[in-house]
Structure 1
Amino acid sequence: MANEDKPPAPPELLKKMRALQGRLEQALEPLPPTVEELRNELRRILQKAIRDEVLQTPPYSATQLLKLESAEQSRKVKERGGTHAIVGGYKDIPRLSGDIDPRKKFIRDDGAVIHFSITVRESPGQLELIAYDFELYHPSRVPIWFVRFDLNQPGHHNDRELGLRSHVHPAHDDLQIPGAMLSPAEALSFLLYGFRIRREAARTK
């Protein structure tokens, strides 16, 4: 979660960050036309990851963990200006340690935990991406504690004062760097199959 007490970015930096955010928005992959189709797309990605043995969570549990909420059910969805949210496992604010039941969380084959939420606005034949957060964390804090991809709703403090509506948290909740604006399918696929150590030994000690 972003720290609302951060001072605004200097004017020149804010101008550059807003220009960058504008370019990132133009590159966003189109979404499926309905929230139900988006949820089905994410479900297929999760089930394939289970078949590929990169996700330990059982098929039935994965379906149960992928929830659809409406603005009538969720105050947060309504406050963000969305009509629906898709929630993939509820967020672990303290980030759990030790053994975690893969029936209750999305657990990768290396023990990393994935959770996410997506807020969208659905209108006839169109789905608009309002906000998301996709986080992966290692309960052992090795090789990294966590990484989170955030897209804040328009007008959020990070958008208004920092020009960082779309950003990445590199293992610290109060550190933000500009990040690509990803489609939900891209973000989930990357956290399942990417963001892994690819070498047996580090380049530097």
Structure 2
Amino acid sequence: MLSIQLFNCDGCWFDFAILVNENFKEPEIIGFNFEIRFMDSNPTKFLRFDLNLPEHNNEDKGKRFHIHPGNDDFMIHASPMSPLEILHLFLYDLKIPERPRS
């Protein structure tokens, strides 16, 4: 498992962990989580993208890939994204509004 912690220019910090199955001819990503934590002034404290391991009970619900928007108990099904797409989102595309809606 690879685990890394980074910071972006908005004062947010994020980390991710990736689990790879190396038993195949080409390594295969079988699970990951990417979590970005926002500054204390932001009403949403974090955003996490999860790809659960195969045979996790979320797979039965069609939610193996999902997002947690600020609460571990709240899960939204999402279209799968690659680790590079999520990393790019965290570094370049996720903009923090100056005046968030209430």
TM-score, normalised relative to structure 2: 0.85
Aligned to 1:86: 2
Q: Secondary structure at the match of 2:40?
A: coil
Aligned to 2:27: 127
Q: Whose helix fraction is larger, Structure 1's or Structure 2's? A: 1
Q: Deviations over 1:137-156 (max 9, x none)?
A: 11415152110000001111
Q: Structure 1 141/156 Cα, relative in aligned 2: closer, same or farther at 3 Å?
A: farther
Q: Whose strand fraction is larger, Structure 1's or Structure 2's? A: 2
Matched, 1:112 2:12: yes
Aligned to 2:71: 172
The correspondence for 1:184, drawn from 64, 83, 92, is 83
Q: Secondary structure at the match of 2:27?
A: strand
Q: Which whole-Å CA distance do the structure 1 matches of 2:87 and 2:80 have between them? A: 13
Q: Which whole-Å CA distance do the structure 1 matches of 2:24 and 2:54 have between them? A: 21
Stretches of structure 2 that go unaligned for 5 or more consecutive residues are: none
Q: Which whole-Å CA distance do the structure 1 matches of 2:30 and 2:7 have between them? A: 26
Letter in 1 for 2:94: F
Q: Secondary structure at the match of 1:126?
A: coil
Q: Which whole-Å CA distance do the structure 1 matches of 2:36 and 2:51 have between them? A: 15
Q: Which whole-Å CA distance do the structure 2 matches of 1:159 and 1:140 have between them? A: 33
Matched, 1:150 2:50: yes
Aligned pair count reads 102
Letter in 2 for 1:166: F
Q: Percent identity?
A: 35
Q: Secondary structure at the match of 2:49?
A: strand
